[in-house]
Amino acid sequence: MSAHKVALVTGGGRGVGKGVASALGAEGWTVYVTGRHADRLASTAEAITAAGGAGHAMACDHHQDDQVAEVFARIADEQGQLDLLVNNAWANPDGYAGFTQPFWKRPVQDWDSLIGIGLRAHYVACVEAAKIMVPQGSGLMANISSFGSRGYLHSVLYGMSKTALDKMAADMAVELAGTGVTAVSLWLGLVQTERVKSMGDSFEGFSIADAEEPEYIGQVINALAHDEKLRAYNGHTVITAEYGRDHGLTNSDGRQPPTHRPFFGGGPLFPPLQEV
């Protein structure tokens, strides 16, 4: 990877996306952020630049493939390269309050958000990223997944989308072999987003104070992008808390977030029976 590093973080207006983008900025990355809310994106871009990187905001509806293609065309035109894609775009279905209702009581249209954005938009972005990364012979595509692949978490459609992201990375790795491009799926634990921190001291039995900061996830992704063993991770599921622990990364208060692996039945789902 060249000294000049270029990343795209989708869904970068707040939460995990904003934290990841800001952390990359602190490491000197040029970071493009996309989403539907221009004001939030502008705030993230400012945070990236203030941290020491170069932030660029691009309003984009990830339901619209032409808008996604325009994002990548602009990056290629302005930077001539793309080293990292962080697929983080996600859309909450209308009226989806706390994932409390069973699937038969929810509108079938929930599919359009949780699969249309939570899965399809990730695939579309990977397609566009690969068109840049494969010719340049390098790059990392990191898809934000979760332990919802291992056990029930939030809803049926949520679990479906996250499991599919893991399988997508595993199968993309087969076709990316020998190109220099790596695809991974990241299992995040509980994250200290503003919404989660407003819930009190714990969530579903997990301590919020011990949870992963959004910026911590950005540190993990930055470290992974520079890892000499990066290509060995191609197609693998990476548990952010465990990778961070193994590479000496912590939250801003010095805590190392705990892995949720014991609560969800064990190791990487894809590829089966393999560890890095």
Q: What is the mean pLDDT of the chain?
A: 90
Residues 6 or more apart whose CB falls under 8 angstroms from that of 34 comprise 8, 9, 10, 11, 12, 41, 58, 59, 60, 62, 71, 89
- The per-residue pLDDT for 260 is 87
- The per-residue pLDDT for 206 is 80
Percentage, residues of the chain above pLDDT 90: 71
- The per-residue pLDDT for 197 is 76
Residue 131 has pLDDT above 70, yes or no: yes
- The per-residue pLDDT for 276 is 55
Q: How far is CA 246 from the centre of its chain?
A: 20
Strand order in the sheet with 181-188: 54-59, 30-35, 6-10, 84-87, 139-146, 181-188, 237-239
Q: Of 32, 158, 233, 243, which one is the catalytic site residue?
A: 158
pLDDT digits (tens, 9 = 90+) for 155-203: 899 999 999 999 999 999 999 999 999 999 999 988 877 777 776 777 7
What average pLDDT does the segment 45-63 reach?
96
Selected residue with higher pLDDT from 33 and 107:
33
Selected residue with higher pLDDT from 45 and 194:
45
| Sequence ranges of the domains in the chain | 6-264
Residues 6 or more apart whose CB falls under 8 angstroms from that of 76 comprise 82, 132
Active site residue 158: yes
Candidate from 65-69, 122-126, 266-270 with smallest mean pLDDT: 266-270
Q: What is the pTM of this model?
A: 0.93
The fold adopted by the segment(s) 6-264 is Rossmann fold (3.40.50)
Tokens read off for 83: 């080293």
